[in-house]
Amino acid sequence: MEEKETCMDEHIVAVKCCRVECDKVIQMMRTLPAGSSRESALAITNAQQAVMWLGMELKRCHEMGYGQNPYPNSKDPSNTIIEPTADGLKM
């Protein structure tokens, strides 16, 4: 079982690294001279979607019993705190 947990820990770290790298690309695309074009906006949107889907992968891992929930109070409607992204993304 420990080997599987180690494998999942490595997977979670790899997914988080991908999210961080995608965010770096998003920030770089926002500085392009033609940054206001439809094509640039679509490229940014698709990179943001990649970050979102990788976040859903982290959610799936957590639902399988691996990793910790970075937003333990997020489903409580009386909670008015809006927490920053768990991995510090700027998106």
* pLDDT tens per residue across span 19-63: 999 999 999 999 988 657 899 999 999 999 999 999 999 989 989
> Average pLDDT, whole number, for the chain?
87
Question: Closest Cα to residue 19, out of 27, 7, 31, 30?
Answer: 27
Give a yes or no: residue 53 inside a domain.
yes
Q: What is the rounded CA–CA span in Å between residue 83 and residue 62? A: 18
pTM for this prediction: 0.80
pLDDT of residue 91: 76
Residue 11 pLDDT > 90 = yes
- The residue segments making up the domain with residue 49 are 2-62
Give a yes or no: residue 75 inside a domain.
no
Give a yes or no: residue 90 inside a domain.
no
Domain count, the chain: 1
Q: Which two tokens stand for residue 32?
A: 């392009």
pLDDT of residue 71: 75
Contacts with 51 (C-beta within 8 Å, 6 or more apart), sequence order: 19, 22, 23, 26, 89, 91
Per-residue confidence band for 1, with pLDDT thresholds at 50, 70 and 90: low
Give a yes or no: residue 81 inside a domain.
no
